[in-house]
Amino acid sequence: MSDNIDVKIIDTSKHDDIKHRTKVKDTEYKEGKIYIRSINGIFTAIRQKLNWILMLGFFLLPWIPYGDRQAVIFDLAEQKFHIFGLIIWPQDLVLLAALLMISAYGLFLVTTFIGRVWCGFTCPQTIWTFIFVWVEEKVEGKFNKRKKLDQQPNTWTKIWKKGLKHSIWLVISLITSLTFLAFFVPVKELYIDFFTLNASGLIYFWTLFFTFCTYGNAGWMREIMCLHMCPYARFQSAMFDKDTFSVAYDAQRGESRGPRSRKKNPKELGLGDCIDCNLCVQVCPTGIDIRDGLQYECINCGACIDACDDVMEKMGYEKKLISYTTENQLEGKKTHIIRGKLVGYGSVLAIMSIVFVYFLMAIQPLKLDIIRDRNQLYRISSEGLIENVYTLKVLNKTEEDLNYKLSFSGLDEFEWLGVNEIFVKAGEVYTLPMSISADPYNLKKKLVNVTFTVEASLDNGEKVIVKEDTKFFNEI
Ligand code: SF4
Ligand code: SF4
């Protein structure tokens, strides 16, 4: 039997105040625009700090130089990714595949352990939404003022406030878009060409495209992306179990909810600890009421915990009426930290990380490919020698022009027909057609395993040697 938690609504109809709560939930928050109320607290502070770090990383990374280029750039035209000193070629794409698997299993592991914290704390959609809400609050005022402003007829005050807000949103979106493109196009060139109107049509197209994506997603779509478009929201419940930490309301402690005086003992009034202030709903970026139970819309951001802890403190009650907890804990049972699913995800993550490091260490600064003549296994020369034709492709994966020395082994006596020293420019492929000939009297087998070797000395004195095996065919 599966121990996954089904996303569900807790039936709280037994509580007297349900009418009032339903009214608030349906009319103010569920239908139409959500006016997020800002809040301070430990989880908000953690999220803000994390968001600062991620934002600085995103906006500054393209400006960090490495040698005579950008430290991080995905050069699509040249088909290579530069990440500081590391160059990833299409031949090394297994690395990216391993990285994607590491990210996926990392996400599964974290989600199984602590729910959708990725969504609440690090997802770009959440980060940009909070930035846009922050701008909205600075220009239009707190959530109740913003709501009032939206309900007002169009006055000059409303028009300039709306105009200013949307202009700032568009500027942020444009900078975001240019920063994103700067991971693919050299950043200085991009900015200069863009603002001097010398960029290509493609650059203008993608800049505008990503500008409007950012503006639309963070300004207009916001929680709609999380609620209706994000696939992760849909399959996360497959990772949840009764030991997954997620934001939850302690209904046993909170119900029956209702307003009361701070001086009164709630027990005497037949009330639980929830004063039904709705602050947890007002701060929720997805507009849900966590008191309705675990819902797939919840992004585990902890804003409702901050709001409720604040209320509990003011009321003189114990905090954590809403907290990161597990279903087992809420039922008074033991929470199991180490469990099969977690160990499974952790093991795959560890294996993939080892595979990634292995491939990373195995990256060679040069690559040798050998292509045999497909039309003829061998030919016999006018002198009666057996000749095998090969095409050697030497890829210089470094950022320096290099001389390469080629050699051959596997036959006792042979003749190399063609050049065996080549000069290959940085990042280029040298195609060398050549052949090996041998006297058939010295060949004892029809098929001989042979090896080509290519070697070069790098500027730093390091010697690189790559060997590649192939076959030599004989007429026997
Ligand atoms: S219910 Fe709480 S944790 Fe979930 S999204 Fe809303 S504020 Fe964030
Ligand atoms: S913030 Fe706390 S006390 Fe207020 S409604 Fe939410 S759960 Fe109840």
Burial 109-139 (b: 16+ CB within 10 A, else e): bbbbbbbbbbbbbebbbbbbbbbbbebbbeb
SS3 for 53-87, per residue?
Answer: HHHHHHHHHHHCEECCEECEEEECCCCEEEECCEE
Residue with tokens 């991971």: 183
Nearest CA to ligand 2 atom 7: 274
Which pLDDT tens digit goes with each residue over 146-202? 999 999 999 999 999 999 999 999 999 999 999 999 999 999 999 999 999 999 999
Nearest ligand atom owner, CA of 304: 1
* Alpha-carbon span 422 to 216, nearest angstrom: 54
pLDDT (mean) for 367-381: 88
CB 346 within 8 A of CB 109: yes
* Alpha-carbon span 367 to 468, nearest angstrom: 9
Of the candidates 145, 143, 123, 124, the residue with the CA atom closest to the CA atom of residue 133: 143
* Alpha-carbon span 417 to 433, nearest angstrom: 9
Nearest CA to ligand 1 atom 5: 298
424 C-beta neighbours (distance < 10 Å), count = 20
pLDDT value, residue 370: 93
Nearest CA to ligand 1 atom 4: 298
pLDDT value, residue 21: 29
Q: Is the pLDDT of residue 20 over 50?
A: no
CB 431 within 8 A of CB 452: no
> Residue 337 C-alpha to ligand 1 middle, in angstroms?
23
Residue 124 C-alpha from the chain's centroid: 9
Beta bridge partners of residue 455, listed in sequence order: 405, 465
Beta bridge partners of residue 449, listed in sequence order: 471
* Alpha-carbon span 158 to 173, nearest angstrom: 22
Q: What string of DSSP letters covers 187-232?
A: HHHHHHHHHTT-S-HHHHHHHHHHHHHHIIIIIIITHHIIIII-HH
pLDDT (mean) for 399-415: 91
> Residue 286 C-alpha to ligand 1 middle, in angstroms?
7
Residue among 273, 275, 290, 298 whose CB has most ligand 2 atoms within 8 A, to mutate: 275
**Interior CA angle at 411 toward 409 and 417, to 5°?**
75
Q: Which two tokens stand for residue 367?
A: 């690559």
Beta bridge partners of residue 421, listed in sequence order: 405
Nearest CA to ligand 1 atom 6: 284
Nearest ligand atom owner, CA of 248: 1
CB 280 less than 6 A from any atom of ligand 2: yes
CB 281 within 8 A of CB 25: yes
pLDDT value, residue 67: 82
Residue 476: band (very low, low, confident or very high) from pLDDT cuts 50, 70, 90: low
pLDDT value, residue 29: 39
Nearest CA to ligand 2 atom 4: 277
CB 308 less than 6 A from any atom of ligand 2: yes
Query: Number of helices (H) and strands (E), helices first, in the chain?
Result: 17, 16
Which of the listed ranges 303-317, 354-368, 447-461 does the model predict with the highest average pLDDT? 303-317
* Alpha-carbon span 353 to 343, nearest angstrom: 15
Nearest CA to ligand 2 atom 1: 308
Residues in the chain: 476
**Interior CA angle at 409 toward 407 and 412, to 5°?**
125
Residue among 274, 283, 292, 314 whose CB has most ligand 2 atoms within 8 A, to mutate: 274
Residue among 301, 311, 322 whose CB has most ligand 1 atoms within 8 A, to mutate: 301
What one-letter code names the amino acid at 145?
K
Nearest ligand atom owner, CA of 321: 2
Residue among 35, 246, 286 whose CB has most ligand 1 atoms within 8 A, to mutate: 286
Of the candidates 421, 362, 370, 424, the residue with the CA atom closest to the CA atom of residue 399: 424
Answer positive or negative: Cα dihedral of 211, 214, 216, 219.
Answer: negative
100 C-beta neighbours (distance < 10 Å), count = 11
Q: Which two tokens stand for residue 31?
A: 């239908």
Of the candidates 217, 243, 244, 222, the residue with the CA atom closest to the CA atom of residue 300: 244
* Alpha-carbon span 115 to 322, nearest angstrom: 15
Q: Show the ligand 1 pocket: residues with CB < 6 angstroms.
A: 120, 247, 283-286, 288, 290, 298-304
CB 277 less than 6 A from any atom of ligand 2: yes
Of the candidates 286, 285, 281, 287, the residue with the CA atom closest to the CA atom of residue 322: 281
Nearest ligand atom owner, CA of 322: 2
Residue 88: band (very low, low, confident or very high) from pLDDT cuts 50, 70, 90: confident
Instruction: Return the ligand 2 atom nearest residue 278 CA.
Output: 5
> Residue 303 C-alpha to ligand 1 middle, in angstroms?
6
Nearest ligand atom owner, CA of 283: 1
Of the candidates 391, 388, 392, 390, the residue with the CA atom closest to the CA atom of residue 377: 388
Nearest ligand atom owner, CA of 249: 2
**Average pLDDT, whole number, for the chain?**
88
Measured between alpha carbons, how far is residue 421 from residues 356, 391, 394, 401, 405 in Å? 34, 14, 11, 14, 5
Nearest CA to ligand 2 atom 8: 274
Answer with the residue of higher pLDDT: 349 or 85. Answer: 349
CA atoms within 13 A on the CB side of 200: 6
Residue 19: band (very low, low, confident or very high) from pLDDT cuts 50, 70, 90: very low
> Residue 290 C-alpha to ligand 1 middle, in angstroms?
7
Of the candidates 259, 282, 449, 288, the residue with the CA atom closest to the CA atom of residue 370: 449
Which pLDDT tens digit goes with each residue over 32-77? 688 999 999 999 999 999 999 999 999 999 999 988 889 999 988 7
pLDDT (mean) for 20-41: 59
| Structural domains for the chain | 30-239+339-355 (no CATH), 246-330 (no CATH), 366-473 (2.60.40.10)
> Residue 270 C-alpha to ligand 1 middle, in angstroms?
27
Residue with tokens 């596997």: 410
Q: Which two tokens stand for residue 174?
A: 């444009």
| Helix or strand (DSSP H, E) at 234 | helix 231-235
Q: Which two tokens stand for residue 316?
A: 């003189």
